[in-house]
Amino acid sequence: MHEPALRAAAFGSDPLPDPAALRGDGSPRERLLAAVVLGAQGRYAAAAALLDALRGGGEPLVASLAASALASHRRQLGGHRRARSLDGEAFAKAAALESYPDPDGLDAAGARADALLGLAADNLALGRLAAARRLAGRAAEQDAGWRARVRGGWVGAEIELSAGQGAAAVPHAERAFETARERGARRHAVKSGIVLAVALRAAGRPDHREISDDLVGNAMATAEECELLSLLWPATLVAADLRPGHAEEYRFRTTEVLHAVLRSADPCGRRIAGESPWVPAPGG
């Protein structure tokens, strides 16, 4: 059984499990967790192969969580329209489900929160701010545990940033960061640190430069150590803005990491990234 190692990789303190755990030959839940870890590493083709099979499987809860996970991977490459259809699929599968609670939100309430937060992020990127706020509010009503609180903090911060309210974004980002750190969820803490750095900068706090620089530096170091390529290239992009004297160096690193990610993406993922205004063009 690989589930404890996969949970530690997906949601805990050890993002680098034994490669044998990522072969995707375990139970449906283990295959789901393996796909989450593979996506975090930027290995989108391997993740998509597992998730597509689970979406069509006989377990509605796992199918919903798989659709949300695939939507997240599409969104990470800038494919918000494709992600929105997958998040809608995820919510439809989970809307009427009931289940026992799971410590990491792999339950009915967690599946609904995942889908609703995904839909909120999708709508936000497509310019539908009011819809994003409404969907984020519905996700909060699910009371789905620590992971939904972290992801809700990310989305809440992004909504306020999109509305031009940098100061209002900070509490959302701080809640996500503190929740992830208290849980010992290293991957979630990395993204939360990036979001908080951006929020602090947008808020214009007097001490934001030093704090944001530390947050992004720690995020980059952890992402490198834990091979979280899906988070490393956004961290280097933020670092280029925070450290203008080294911007060229960080942008070169962004291009390097993106090349590695796109080599490990499926054709759909590569096409999405190539068409997205959110993903830097290779060599750009």
Q: Is residue 284 part of a domain?
A: no
Q: What is the CATH number of the domain that holds 168?
A: 1.25.40.10
Q: Is residue 13 part of a domain?
A: yes
Q: Are 245 and 234 within 8 A, CB to CB?
A: no
Q: Is residue 137 part of a domain?
A: yes
Could you read off the pLDDT of 87-97 as tens digits, one per residue? 999 999 999 99
Q: Is residue 140 part of a domain?
A: yes
Q: How many domains is the chain built from? A: 1
Q: Which domain holds residue 30?
A: 2-275
Q: Is residue 63 part of a domain?
A: yes
Alpha helix locations (H) across the chain? 3-11, 28-40, 44-55, 60-76, 80-94, 108-125, 129-140, 146-162, 166-183, 186-203, 208-225, 229-242, 247-263, 267-275
Could you read off the pLDDT of 25-55 as tens digits, one per residue? 889 999 999 999 999 999 999 999 999 999 9
Q: Is residue 280 part of a domain?
A: no
| Residue among 154, 118, 116 nearest 137 (CA) | 116
Q: Which tokens sit at 7?
A: 């949970």
Q: What is the pLDDT at residue 281?
A: 66
Could you read off the pLDDT of 183-217 as tens digits, one per residue? 999 999 999 999 999 999 999 877 777 889 899 99
* Tens digit of pLDDT at every position of the chain (284 positions): 689 999 999 999 888 888 878 888 889 999 999 999 999 999 999 999 999 999 998 899 999 999 999 999 999 999 999 999 999 999 999 999 999 999 999 999 999 999 999 999 999 999 999 999 999 999 999 989 999 999 999 999 999 999 999 999 999 999 999 999 999 999 999 999 999 999 999 998 777 778 898 999 999 999 999 999 999 999 999 999 988 888 999 999 999 999 999 999 999 999 999 998 878 865 54
pTM of the complete model = 0.95
